[in-house]
Structure 1
Amino acid sequence: MAGAADESILWSAVDAYITDHLLPPDAAREAALAAAEAAGLPAINVSPAQGRMLTILARLVRARRILEIGTLAGYSTLFLAEGLERDGRIVTLEIDPAHAAVARANFDRAGIADRVDLRLGPAIASLPKILEEGIGPFDMIFIDADKPSNPDYLAFALKLSRPGTLIVSDNVVRGGRVLEQDSTDRSVQGTRALFDALAADPSLLSTAIQTVGAKGYDGFALTLVGG
């Protein structure tokens, strides 16, 4: 166990090194984290380095429309907004009113409220409405909500995509527990079902990257629609 603890300390130290060297201080992002902590929100947001990866991915696909499933305090939304084209817009979905209130304040503080459409309610109920409104297709979709619903979120993401849409799914390694075929953890089973769905669709080009750092051992699945 001591070895695992030592690894965690090392991962966090390297994350701090990356952040210190490659991410200039940002008052809005730092305030967003402070507001989330003050409100007692769970510290399950992406790390700064992971957030910067979202920014880069959004810029690579030249995203004008981004869909985020799972807002929390809006920390990842701030990074996604940095990657938007000038006339771009983000639709982000959050089930918890308290989380949404913190996120809205963070968007106001960061000056991006006019570019973010935050929708309150269960994502599984919001997604059909977005589909009916015809505001897609989205250029990038970030899935980071309750993991048992991952297969459902993917199904809607595909309906809201176009050839070339990038879908990013967070927390797909789960400390290695994704290997546990007989797990009773619904988050593990939802993640495994996501992998099965990605593998079964020949129109998708998918991979996953394992990550270590301040957030522990986890990973992202990256999917290119029409790949």
Structure 2
Amino acid sequence: MSAGWADVDAFIADRLIGGDPALDAALARNAAEGLPAIDVSAAQGKLLHVLARGIGAWRLLEVGTLGGYSTIWLARALPGHGVLVTLEIDPHHAEVARANLDAAGIGDKVEIRVGPAVETLSRMEAESEGPFDLVFIDADKPNNVAYLKAALALTRPGGLVIVDNVVREGRVADAASGDAAVLGTRALFDAVAAEPRLTATAIQTVGSKGWDGFLIAVVDGE
């Protein structure tokens, strides 16, 4: 019998990632604290890490912390003076994430801001915070366009905006869908397509997390 998606993910992790006690402990703590198991996979986390390192990022913004699994991957890409700001609406999730980040030894690089991300981002824009080198969006899908607009205002030219969960098991192609997450994702694609300051593509992913994908955009400037 041929290998399945999860088997290939396991092969990739074994050959290119290896064991990681801090990341394993973060997932275990998340489960013990009742957080949903919707973190990126190890291979996807490593991809975020590689992209951040590839552009020499030292200021990162994450929308949607959950338990901090992807946050750890991103923070590890930062140089010594780097900083990551991550936004989480749920105080309990933020508390678990803080414990995971501290246990992973990168807590000093990460600031967790608790509250609705749309409101937090609006304050960041008003205060001209930034610029950030990379923004990773992995939060509630109906607000994807609002997150994109904020990311565009807060990211430097040449920086990256990455959005997770943009394929949704193929449902993104269903124009008749009434699902709020699908509608938010389709609106995201339309907004990116209409934005001249972005050069973007999306790639489908399969693996232990099923069938989904990332949208990746470069900010071209004014």
TM-score by length of 1: 0.94
Partner of 2:15: 21
Matches within 5 A, 1:181-196: 181-196=175-190
- Contact 2:76–2:106 at 8 Å: present in 1 too? no
Per-residue CA distance 1:88-122 (angstroms, 9 max, x = gap): 10000000111111000001101111110100001
1:83 aligns with 2:84: no
2:198 aligned residue (181, 191, 204): 204
Partner of 2:174: 180
Structure 2: distance between partners of 1:78 and 1:132 = 28
Partner of 1:3: none
1:160 aligned residue (149, 154, 157): 154
Per-residue CA distance 1:41-71 (angstroms, 9 max, x = gap): 1000000000000000000111110000000
Structure 1: distance between partners of 2:109 and 2:155 = 20
Corresponding residue SS for 1:220? strand
Structure 2: distance between partners of 1:138 and 1:11 = 34
1:103 aligned residue (97, 100, 124): 97
Corresponding residue SS for 1:165? strand
| 1:218 CA displacement | 0.2
Structure 2: distance between partners of 1:77 and 1:144 = 11
Structure 2: distance between partners of 1:51 and 1:222 = 14
Partner of 2:124: 130
Stretch moving more, 162-171 or 125-134? 125-134
Structure 1: distance between partners of 2:152 and 2:135 = 9
Corresponding residue SS for 1:162? strand
Corresponding residue SS for 2:166? coil
1:62 aligns with 2:52: no
Superposition RMSD in Å: 1.3
Matches within 5 A, 1:36-47: 36-47=30-41
Structure 1: distance between partners of 2:156 and 2:57 = 12
Q: Between the two proteins, what is the percent identity of the paired residues?
A: 57
Structure 1: distance between partners of 2:81 and 2:129 = 14
Partner of 2:210: 216
The AA in structure 2 aligned to 1:115 is K
TM-score by length of 2: 0.97
The AA in structure 2 aligned to 1:180 is D
Structure 1: distance between partners of 2:79 and 2:125 = 22
Unaligned runs of 5+ in 1: 1-5
Unaligned runs of 5+ in 2: none
Per-residue CA distance 1:187-225 (angstroms, 9 max, x = gap): 000000000001001221000010000000000000000
- Contact 2:35–2:93 at 8 Å: present in 1 too? yes
Matches within 5 A, 1:24-35: 24-35=18-29
Larger helix proportion of the pair: 1
Q: 1:194 to 1:136 in 2, by over 3 A?
A: same
- Contact 2:162–2:214 at 8 Å: present in 1 too? yes
Corresponding residue SS for 1:90? strand
The count of corresponding residues between Structure 1 and Structure 2 is 221
